[in-house]
Amino acid sequence: MTEQTHTGDVRELADVPAVEVISRAAVMLMSSAAEKLGLSSPDPDESDHLDLDEARRVITALAGLVTASAEYLGPHAGPIREGLQALQRAFREASAHPDEPGNGPGEKYTGPVY
Residue 89 domain flag: yes
Residue 8 domain flag: no
Residue 58 domain flag: yes
Q: What is the pLDDT of residue 46?
A: 87
Measured at the CA of 47, the angle between CA 42 and CA 49, to 5 degrees, comes to 130
Domain housing 99: 17-109
* pLDDT averaged over every residue in the chain: 91
- Distance of alpha carbon 32 from alpha carbon 26, whole angstroms: 10
Of 6-10, 83-87, 93-97, 101-105, give the lowest mean pLDDT range: 6-10
Number of domains in the chain: 1
Residue 11 domain flag: no
Of 11-15, 30-34, 57-61, 77-81, give the lowest mean pLDDT range: 11-15
Q: What is the pLDDT of residue 94?
A: 95
Residue 93 domain flag: yes
Helices (H) and strands (E) in the chain, counts: 4, 2
Average pLDDT over every residue of 9-14:
77
Residue 1 domain flag: no
Asked if 64 and 81 touch (Cβ cutoff 8 Å), the reply is no
- Distance of alpha carbon 65 from alpha carbon 73, whole angstroms: 11
The answer for residues whose C-beta is within 8 angstroms of residue 85's C-beta and 6 or more apart is 110, 113
Q: What global pTM score does this model have?
A: 0.86
Question: How far, rounded to the nearest angstrom, does the alpha carbon of residue 109 sit from its chain's CA centroid?
Answer: 13
Residue 6 domain flag: no
